């Protein structure tokens, strides 16, 4: 069995790096290849993995954003010791009897220490309460199946009951194909829960991280009262490859990146990773009733 | 034999019956018993062919160019249909049409995804694949329906929302999301009917209804079988296999509780008798709207919420 508590201890955020934390960091399993070094696929430079982790998962040389795990993100955003996880035992079924879906899920659970592609719960941002959901792209590309949809819906419903704001960090390739139509229906379910939350006057902030596409874009990602994105994140409905195949031409540079969405009016602001917590706090502060 | 081979065989039988009839008339010979035998054979052939119909057969049927489109059905079901154009933001999308009409004398708003009947029309209609402005037009008309307290009826028939540069620039994801969000709480009854292809989020964006129905041979899925096969198996030619696995038929989706009703099609499919198909839909609509109109709005909205809230399979 996976010990989630232990996993959380691994997570690195270089806020106050003392000797003890540094030692723990070396055990961290992150979404970059094994070994001490990694090659940044943007600048091509060989960098110490430890240096990336200490730099909020950004390349120390060119500032490229690597993807963060859900727990790294929670550690970055939520005040230490205040996070209470919701529905952590909700687990995946195989409604279409898709061949070896269970096996695939089991392998991902072992590899990531997660049970599904989203972690939900409540916690404090600089002392201010909120409900938060964080997707993790390592888990089948953060795709949304029944568990992801249900966890997000429950989190939003709890926020509505508790009159709390909701923050969702998206990172998803879209629908969970292996769950077919059930996956599609999660788009309606999550959107409906957000509508109820919204109609009562509560705040929802979505934070789009690389990548956010498909059914997640076409539901809760685009429904924030305020939509934030990390720099250069890929955000779209269709994936770039699908579009290229459809229109049979190459896509322009920067197409579907966060800056492109900002220019076209679909994102409110782009925020650097080191400023995310403070920005979210300021937004919560302005909406505190 | 697949359904199209059977269709060919039945066309030949029909031709033979017609010839016999003409011959008997011309020569004044009574061939009625021979004709009857052939007619029975024809009926049997058509009935049997649909007994063993595969999910892939249904995919082909749902996409058949002769299949009745939204407009074919709207013309037959409603009176005084007035088409209303545009999203008031960017342009008018011909892949989604909408307007106001009467159903047995009562006002309704009608919205439908529209495919073409030939290549030229399909180019104009973008093969029924809407851009964001199509969804925004649909939402505008739904909000208008809410204001004037008339029910909304949506006909769904799309391979999916269009994937292109313009649709991304104008926020395809946002447009679909907004429809899901607003429809979930639209204060008037909504009935959505999948009449052909119900492709992905592009279909769902008109299908957050109090009732979701499908024509007997329509399909509704997360993605086209070709897309499914190419994403999961890197091989679009395995679409047939995907169609079986995906559970995209009306019968499967009724079992799953995703849809509420199957509307029967004439033997051979909806295209065989469009009038009959329209009549069945109309009857269902008239009966069900009577029921929905009598619910108070809070009950209606709560049960719409609960309907989608229940969807999903997981282990607690
Ligand atoms: Zn770099």
Mind listing the pLDDT tens digit for each residue in B186-238?
999 999 999 999 999 999 999 999 999 999 999 999 999 999 999 999 998 99
List chain A residues with pLDDT less than 70.
Answer: 1-34, 289
| pTM of the predicted model as reported, rounded to 2 decimal places | 0.90
Q: Which tokens go with A204?
A: 């929802």
Count H helices and E strands in chain B, helices first.
Answer: 14, 9
Average pLDDT over chain B reads 95
Q: How far is B312 from chain A (nearest CA, A)?
A: 5
If one counts every other C-beta atom within 10 angstroms of the C-beta of residue A9, the result is: 13
A56 Cα to the center of ligand 1, angstroms: 13
Beta bridge partners of B113: B96
State the greatest distance between any 2 C-alpha atoms of chain B, in Å, as a whole number.
76
Exposed, middle or buried, B146 (CB in 10 Å: 0-12/13-18/19+)? middle
Closest CA relative to residue A158, chosen from A207, A114, A125, A123: A123
Q: How confident is the model at residue B6, as a pLDDT?
A: 77
Domain residue spans in chain B? 3-52, 60-310
Q: Do B247 and A199 touch (CB under 8 A)?
A: no
Q: A200 CB near a chain B CB, below 8 Å? A: no
Q: Is the dihedral of CA B218, B223, A168, B311 positive or negative?
A: positive
Burial class (CB in 10 A: 0-12, 13-18, 19+), A100: exposed
Residues whose CB is less than 8 angstroms from the CB of residue A72 and which lie 6 or more positions away in sequence, other chains included: A11, A12, A13, A30, A57
Place of tokens 């009598």: B294
Report which of residues A36 and B311 the model is more confident about: B311
Task: Please give the Cα distance from A167 to B112 (Å, whole number).
Answer: 35
What is the torsional sign of CA A256, A261, A263, A264?
A: positive
| Cβ-contact A182, A144 below 8 angstroms | no
Distance CA A282, CA B55 (A): 53
List the helix and strand counts (H, then E) for chain A.
Answer: 11, 10
Question: In this predicted model, what pLDDT tens digit does every residue of B76-117 receive, in sequence order?
Answer: 999 999 999 999 999 999 999 999 999 999 999 999 999 999
Average pLDDT, stretch B255-270?
95
- Residue A223 and residue B181: Cβ atoms within 8 Å? yes
What is the SS3 assignment for A226?
Answer: strand
With 0-12 CB in 10 A as exposed, 13-18 as middle and 19+ as buried, what is A34? Answer: exposed
pLDDT, position B87: 98
B32 vs A29, residue with greater confidence: B32
Q: Which residue from A90, A186, A255 is facing B316, i.e. has the nearest CB?
A: A90
* Interface check A236 vs B, CB under 8 A: yes
pLDDT category, B7, cuts 50, 70, 90?
Answer: confident
Start-end ranges of CATH 3.90.226.10 in chain A? 67-287
CB pairs under 8 A between A and B: 173
* CATH superfamily of this structure's domain A67-287: 2-enoyl-CoA Hydratase; Chain A, domain 1 (3.90.226.10)
Distance A40 CA to ligand 1 centre (A): 5
More confident residue, B246 or A242: B246
Which of these, B191, B210, B201, B216, lies nearest to B112 by C-alpha position? Answer: B191
Task: Read off the pLDDT of each residue in B51-66 and give the average, rounded to a whole number.
Answer: 92
Q: How many CB atoms sit inside 10 A of residue A270's CB? A: 17
Report yes or no: B246 and A180 within 8 Å, Cβ to Cβ. yes
Residue with tokens 């200490």: A54
Note whether A53 and A76 are within 8 A (CB). Answer: no
Name the residue with higher pLDDT: B31 or A12.
B31
Q: Given this model, what pLDDT does residue B12 score?
A: 87
Whole-number pLDDT of residue B80: 97
pLDDT of residue B9: 83
CATH number for B60-310: choose from 3.90.226.10, 3.40.50.300, 3.30.2090.10, 3.40.50.2300: 3.90.226.10
Which of A188, A82, A165, A93 minimizes the C-alpha distance to A126? A82
pLDDT of residue B10: 82
**Rounded Cα–Cα distance for residues B78 and A65 (Å):** 55
Cβ-defined contact of B201 to A218 (cutoff 8 Å): yes
């Amino acid at each position: 069995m996976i010990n989630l508590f232990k996993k959380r201890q691994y997570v690195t955020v270089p806020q106050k790096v003392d000797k003890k934390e540094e030692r723990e960091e070396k055990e961290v399993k992150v979404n970059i290849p094994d070994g001490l070094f990694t090659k940044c696929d943007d600048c091509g430079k060989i960098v110490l993995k430890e240096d990336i982790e200490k730099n909020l998962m950004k390349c120390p040389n060119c500032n490229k954003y690597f993807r963060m795990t859900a727990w790294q993100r929670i550690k970055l955003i939520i005040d230490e010791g205040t996070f209470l996880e919701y529905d952590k035992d909700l687990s995946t079924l195989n409604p279409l009897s898709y061949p070896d879906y269970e096996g695939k899920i089991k392998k991902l659970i072992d590899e990531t220490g997660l049970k599904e592609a989203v972690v939900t719960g409540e916690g404090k941002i600089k002392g201010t309460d909120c409900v938060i959901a964080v997707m993790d792209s390592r888990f089948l590309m953060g795709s949304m199946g029944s568990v992801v949809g249900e966890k997000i819906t429950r989190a939003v419903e709890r926020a509505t009951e508790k009159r709390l704001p909701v923050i969702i960090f998206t990172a998803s390739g879209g629908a969970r194909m292996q769950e077919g139509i059930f996956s599609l229906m999660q788009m309606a379910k999550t959107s409906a829960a957000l509508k109820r939350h919204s109609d009562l006057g509560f705040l929802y902030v979505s934070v789009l991280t690389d990548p956010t596409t498909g059914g997640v874009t076409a539901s809760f990602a685009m429904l924030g009262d305020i939509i934030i994105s990390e720099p250069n994140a890929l955000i779209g409905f269709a994936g770039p490859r699908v579009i290229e195949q459809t229109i049979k031409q190459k896509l322009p540079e920067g197409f579907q990146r966060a800056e492109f969405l900002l220019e076209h009016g679909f994102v409110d602001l782009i925020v650097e990773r080191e400023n995310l917590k403070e920005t979210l706090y300021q937004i919560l502060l302005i909406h505190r009733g | 034999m697949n359904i199209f081979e059977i269709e060919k065989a039945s066309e030949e039988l029909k031709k033979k019956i017609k010839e016999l009839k003409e011959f008997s008339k011309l020569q004044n010979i009574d061939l009625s018993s021979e004709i009857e035998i052939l007619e029975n054979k024809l009926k049997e052939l058509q009935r049997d062919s649909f007994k063993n119909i595969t999910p892939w057969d249904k995919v082909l049927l749902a996409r058949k160019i002769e299949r009745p489109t939204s407009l074919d059905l709207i013309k037959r079901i409603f009176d005084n249909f007035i088409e209303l154009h545009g999203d008031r933001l960017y342009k008018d999308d011909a892949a989604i049409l909408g307007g106001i009409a009467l159903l047995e004398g009562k006002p309704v708003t009608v919205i439908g995804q529209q495919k073409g009947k030939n290549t030229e029309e399909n180019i104009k209609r973008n093969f029924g694949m809407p851009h964001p402005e199509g969804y925004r037009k649909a939402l505008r008309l739904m909000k208008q329906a809410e204001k004037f307290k008339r029910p909304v009826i949506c006909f769904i028939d799309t391979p999916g929302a269009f994937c292109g540069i313009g649709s991304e620039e104008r926020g395809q994801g946002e447009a679909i999301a907004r429809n899901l969000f607003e429809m979930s709480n639209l204060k008037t009854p909504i009935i959505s009917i999948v009449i052909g292809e119900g492709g992905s989020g592009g279909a769902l964006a008109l299908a957050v209804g109090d009732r979701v129905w499908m024509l007997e041979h329509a399909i509704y899925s997360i993605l086209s079988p070709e897309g499914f096969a190419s994403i999961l198996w890197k091989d679009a030619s395995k679409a047939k296999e995907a169609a079986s696995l995906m559970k995209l038929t009306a019968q499967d989706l009724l079992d799953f509780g995703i849809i509420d009703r199957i509307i029967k099609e004439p033997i051979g499919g909806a295209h065989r008798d469009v009038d009959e198909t329209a009549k069945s839909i109309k009857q269902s609509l008239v009966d069900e709207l009577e029921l929905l109109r009598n619910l108070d709005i809070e009950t209606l909205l709560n049960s719409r919420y609960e309907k989608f809230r229940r969807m999903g399979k997981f282990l607690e």
